[in-house]
Structure 1
Amino acid sequence: MLAGPIFSREALTAPRQLNHYLLRSGYIAALLVLIYTAAQATFGFREIRNAGDMAQFGTFVFDVLAFVQLSLAMAAALLFGSSNVAQEKDRRTLILLLMTDLRNHELVVGKLLAGLLAVLMLIGVSLPVFCLLRMMGGITLNQVLWIEVLCLTAALAAGAWGSLVAFWRDKTFQTLAISVLGLVIFIGVVEGAATLAASGTTAGRILGMLNPYRALLDLLHPLSRQPDAIVPTVAAWGSVLALLAISVSLSALTIYKVRLWNPSRFVFEQAKKKEEQAEVRKQARTVWNTPIIWREICTRAYGRKILLIKFAYLIMSALTLLAVAQADSEGMVLGMLGQSAFAFVGLSILSLLLTNAQAVTAFTSERDGQTLELLLVTEVTAPEFIYGKLGGILYNTKELIAVPLIFLGWFLAQGQLTLENTIYIGLGFVTLSLFAAMLGLHAGLTYDNSRTAIANSLGTMFFLFVGIFICMVLMIEARASYEMQLIPFLVFILGGALGLWASLTHKNPSSAFLLASAVLPFCTFYAIASYLLGATLGVALFVVVAYGFTTIAMLVPAVSEFDVALGRTTHGRG
């Protein structure tokens, strides 16, 4: 096989695991629950007598599910494609693979497809659900098939990019941050260039093919691109071929460079430093009384390229601010947010994802580097470790957290926000930043496997944002009161509560986690409904209380659980 024995082993062992069937059935159940929730929010309990209403509803739900699946496929492919290789580097097993007789393409393509196996499976099992929506009317089979192909090629391109970065960089946080920033910058640059070139020009059409979301909109609404056509053509050959070309190009570059990048020069630098230290005695550095936070702040624990990551984020933020400032009109995006507000939300989400990635890798790098065991013979206490890691995470991501707050200050100076609303939004964002940092540490403590910890931590953040987006879209579509909306959304909320509870209580169940899992989705729903109704204080209050309580619920057992891991607990000793 082209993919070699790495993918063959993954393809043979994955179906034997229970998680494979739970993931497959859970994804279908989530889609069906979403369809049911949308139906109840749109029609309520009244009988549907008009075929046109059913077709319009099918089109609306299909649009939402297609957008969610494309975003999910790209995010999961990026995460699995990069973390599958980063885990090998952290455990020092990639060098062993390089010492075997595996060819370059077997190593690169095998790792890529092995990481994307779950994503390809989810895309495949969604086909019957989309075909079910087709029976409602308003959707053609060509639309269903082309969207599945688009999701597949977009996942391959995202996974190939994540795999390239993972083979290139050594530190897991660098890999995740560069992968996410690279994908966001690519889509932003392509969309901006296509907009400037105009969609009617040849350059605009070519650039538009590189953006999978623009191709998705063309497939969902073909008449908007072909207004004069009696029977519009539903196809996305240009985007599919362009994404395949990107996938092949990135994979080919990775295959060519894999043995030049690995083993990295960091391995040889370590050996050289050991030889130099044997000859030259260097002056020892002064360590603080709290060594954990000293290591996080005063050393390059996450590599030198973290400065370039921050610089890229700042440049992207500056360009976003410039684009918002030069916008002629404040148009609404998806009927929910203005352009400036949408830019702020986008940068905030990216900041929260990078903060969460920094947090989870801050712990998993200790375990994979086999330095966590060294703490067993030191006098470092559990509070010193946890609070030191949190302080280091917030320090290393201070620029990422400061940029959205600077945006708020600019909105206040421009008169787009009042001082009261600026304080509310700032408090909510700071609370979410603390929640993202603590969630990453909690996932690192809870899951022994680094790849699983990273997937659960970033996956929880991703599904939180996707759930909020879906909830807002359905509320706008329903146009009902809060009391009428709560009943159809109960199943959707309970599903989110169950997923959050399963993630938080994987290793250390507690009544606080149960309460947080039950309260947080309801408070989030109330905050969304209050925002759409024009409230301000209620939104900030429920966000701060719900996510602040969940953060504390993760912080308290994190200290005690780490104390047990250190073996310094007195429980059960005579």
Structure 2
Amino acid sequence: MLPGPVFNAELLTTARRTRYYVVRSVYGAILLFFVWQNDPEYGAWGSRKNAGELSIQEMARLGWALFATILVVQSIAVLLLTPTLVAGVIAEERQRKTLHYLLASRLSSGEIILGKLAARMLHLGVFVAIGLPITSLLSLFGGVDPNVVLLTFAITVTTAFFLSALSIFVSTHARRPREAISLVYMVEFCWLFGPTMIPFLMPRGGVWWNLLYEWIKPINDWIAPTSPFHWFSVVARLGPSSAGAFLEQCFWMMGLQTAYGIVFVLIAILRLRGVNRRDGEGRLASRLAGFRRGRRLLPRPECGDDAMMWKERYVSRTSLVTKIAVIAIVFAVLCGLGYLTYDFGKPAFIEVIANGYGAFGGESARNEFNTYLRFMCTLMYVVLALAVASSASSGLTSEREEDTWMSLVATPLDGVEILRAKMVGALWAQRWLVGVLIFHWVLGLAAGSVHPLGVVAVALETSVYLGFAIALGTYFSVGAKTSARALVATIGTMFLVNGAYLMCCIPFQTWSWLQAVGVTPMVEAVSLLSFADFRDLSYGKIRGGNSWESIDMMAGAFVSVVCYAVAAIVLTLRALDRFDVEAGRPSRVNAVPPSTLMVFDDVVEANKAVDLEDDTRSES
């Protein structure tokens, strides 16, 4: 029964971890920063005519602005933190080889699942409660109904419960925490936007897409109302006068989220022991694995001389169930992405055929396609950078957690060979996403929407930034004890250097492109230049007397690439030095070469033979 020993142990152990204090402190600082952005003396209120006391209307406006700010920040925090906090609870026990001890005890599956879920949701509730004191005082400003405040907090709680239940369901079937967390993030992304975009995109795709949409529409109608993005789009269409429809939509969303969350928890309870008997795979996955054994679609090549590189490229630790789920999600995302790219790219190709390649004639369709490519390629880069960083952060920690670390360091392989294979393997695992990104660059170049120099610049920047992400993840993976610690340190550092540091520049209230050299998504977006952008950059702005901004932007991009390249090299060298220390190997400078030891042994044996011969002669 709850709270139970699992709940108590989980609550005590997680409360003592330093990263939870750090995450709560960072979240509180971010929340205060966005609240401070609503200061009447700040830029958002620059249109005020009278300084001093606020009027009643301005007080109501301030109260609503504070409420909207806290609601948005709180919702994003719940969506981002829930998979990280909950998705690894069961998979971590399985990876540490401690889950079978729990299952061998008198604890039931319900006590294990519910205890861990309740403890992690209590930590998640702390983040929701941080903004509660501020929102409780908003009624004093006016403009915010207390019932609306309670309703939005109730929606946040049910959304957190739904995501927590989904996370623990995935964690029950996953082998490793990183695998569970990555899969939950992918499912969450599809859940947020997929059901809402399906009714918008599929009916416009033609006859076959219409038939497919009619088949999946009944299922989509029961899934879409659980998405906050769908709820926001429906509420925006209803308007402020439809109070009854607004409440109906809110209660329908909360009811479905609660019902689906309970179903996920019940399935996790029922499947916990069955999955563990088959070492992370269910009965269906075991049968599929047995059927697939010996029938690979693409046969593996021979190992060759570079065994570590072969292992990282062709040996996968991901379970079959996770692979099937990832393939289904990626296929759905690629279908939507392909439709959007076709929709934006077709007019651009028609325009370039009619007007010629380059900045001649009409450019509206090509500029629109360029805007689409800037947004979509930047989004793909962010996903790719996070994916390779998380994969690199578990490269060496997974060897420790799977008890293969000692056998790895006992081989003749040196640190360069091992780390090189791990770093290449982190990028090799995301090769399909790299291919999709390059395809969009080439497509924009062919359509005349992207200047060739823009493609060269963004390709160079992406290579350097991905190299930094891989080097950073590898550096933390060398010294971290668990994959979770390495993953948190890597992703936290990535967020810090990619924009979080800009909060320190706010008091200066000045802007320069050199301040944003660490914000790699922004550099990627501005570097994907169109022909019109290149023309304005090289001629138009200089003639207009605004050349400093152009020079500042180009200098910022150049400094960004140089800084990240140097950081990647330094982190790689530090990881190599740290690997020898963690592996307990002697320094390469002080080590005695094996050839020297062999010569020394031969000399000793020769001396022994001479001494034995002298003794024989003296005796005779």
- Give the shorter-chain TM-score range: 0.7 to 0.9
Q: Describe the SS at the equivalent of 1:568.
A: coil
CA distance in 2, matches of 1:229, 1:306: 43
Of 147, 152, 155 in structure 2, the residue corresponding to residue 150 of structure 1 is 155
Asked if 2 retains the 8 angstrom alpha-carbon contact of 1:209 and 1:215, the reply is yes
CA distance in 1, matches of 2:72, 2:115: 28
CA distance in 2, matches of 1:238, 1:341: 37
Shift of 1:256: 1.6
Aligned to 2:470: 437
1:567 corresponds to 2:584: yes
Q: Give the letter aligned to residue 547 of structure 1.
A: Y
Aligned to 1:209: 225
Alignment of 1:480-491 (within 5 A): 487-488=508-509
Question: What do the CA deviations read for 1:154-175 (whole angstroms, capped 9, x no partner)?
Answer: 2222222222222112244432
Aligned to 2:81: 76
Shift of 1:209: 2.0
Of 50-59 and 540-549, the range deviating more from structure 2: 50-59
Shift of 1:322: 0.8
Asked if 1 retains the 8 angstrom alpha-carbon contact of 2:303 and 2:310, the reply is yes
CA distance in 2, matches of 1:319, 1:2: 44
CA pair 18-184 structure 1, distance change in 2 beyond 3 A: closer
1:403 corresponds to 2:436: yes
Shift of 1:196: 6.1
Name which one, 1 or 2, has greater alpha-carbon Rg. 2
1:42 corresponds to 2:44: yes
Question: What do the CA deviations read for 1:266-323 (whole angstroms, capped 9, x no partner)?
Answer: 7999xxxxxxxxxxxxxxx965444322211132344556754356425412321213
CA pair 528-33 structure 1, distance change in 2 beyond 3 A: farther
Shift of 1:248: 1.0
1:5 corresponds to 2:10: no
Aligned to 2:542: none
1:226 corresponds to 2:249: no
CA distance in 1, matches of 2:64, 2:372: 26
Q: Give the letter aligned to residue 147 of structure 1.
A: T
Q: Give the letter aligned to residue 385 of structure 1.
A: I
Aligned to 1:476: none
Give RMSD over aligned pairs: 4.3
CA distance in 1, matches of 2:194, 2:525: 34
CA pair 289-230 structure 1, distance change in 2 beyond 3 A: closer
1:379 corresponds to 2:381: no
Structure 2 gaps of 5+ residues are 204-216, 284-300, 349-363, 365-369, 528-548, 592-620
CA pair 409-529 structure 1, distance change in 2 beyond 3 A: closer
Q: Give the letter aligned to residue 439 of structure 1.
A: L
Asked if 2 retains the 8 angstrom alpha-carbon contact of 1:401 and 1:433, the reply is no
Question: What do the CA deviations read for 1:473-517 (whole angstroms, capped 9, x no partner)?
Answer: xxxxxxxxxx9x772489xx9xxxxxxxxxxxxxxxxxxxxxxxx
1:524 corresponds to 2:541: no
1:552 corresponds to 2:569: yes
Aligned to 1:425: 458
Structure 1 gaps of 5+ residues are 270-284, 332-336, 472-482, 494-518
1:296 corresponds to 2:312: yes
CA pair 208-25 structure 1, distance change in 2 beyond 3 A: same
Shift of 1:410: 1.9
Shift of 1:147: 2.9
Aligned to 1:497: none
Shift of 1:32: 1.1
CA pair 393-70 structure 1, distance change in 2 beyond 3 A: same
1:254 corresponds to 2:268: yes
CA distance in 1, matches of 2:447, 2:273: 52
Higher relative contact order (CA 8 A, sep 6+): 1
Q: Give the letter aligned to residue 150 of structure 1.
A: I
1:390 corresponds to 2:423: yes
Shift of 1:561: 0.9
CA distance in 2, matches of 1:12, 1:392: 37
CA pair 18-187 structure 1, distance change in 2 beyond 3 A: closer
Q: Describe the SS at the equivalent of 1:448.
A: coil
CA distance in 2, matches of 1:43, 1:227: 24
CA distance in 2, matches of 1:214, 1:181: 18
Asked if 2 retains the 8 angstrom alpha-carbon contact of 1:223 and 1:232, the reply is no
Alignment of 1:329-408 (within 5 A): 338-339=371-372, 341-408=374-441
CA pair 338-48 structure 1, distance change in 2 beyond 3 A: farther
Asked if 2 retains the 8 angstrom alpha-carbon contact of 1:172 and 1:361, the reply is no
Asked if 1 retains the 8 angstrom alpha-carbon contact of 2:64 and 2:143, the reply is yes
Q: Give the letter aligned to residue 75 of structure 1.
A: L
Shift of 1:564: 0.7
Give TM-score, length-normalised by structure 2.
0.70
Shift of 1:390: 0.3
Alignment of 1:164-313 (within 5 A): 164-195=169-200, 208-216=224-232, 225-229=238-242, 236-265=250-279, 287-303=303-319, 308=324, 309=326, 312-313=329-330
CA distance in 2, matches of 1:83, 1:296: 23
Identical columns (%) = 20
Asked if 2 retains the 8 angstrom alpha-carbon contact of 1:37 and 1:488, the reply is no
Question: What do the CA deviations read for 1:204-260 (whole angstroms, capped 9, x no partner)?
Answer: 986542211343567xxx675234459996682222222112211111111121122
Q: Give the letter aligned to residue 487 of structure 1.
A: F
CA pair 243-339 structure 1, distance change in 2 beyond 3 A: farther
CA distance in 2, matches of 1:423, 1:486: 36
Aligned to 2:146: 141
Q: Describe the SS at the equivalent of 1:326.
A: helix
Asked if 2 retains the 8 angstrom alpha-carbon contact of 1:293 and 1:388, the reply is yes
Alignment of 1:21-32 (within 5 A): 21-32=21-32
Q: Describe the SS at the equivalent of 1:416.
A: coil
Question: What do the CA deviations read for 1:41-99 (whole angstroms, capped 9, x no partner)?
Answer: 43589955544556545544543443332222122211222222222121111122121
Shift of 1:395: 1.5
Give TM-score, length-normalised by structure 1.
0.75
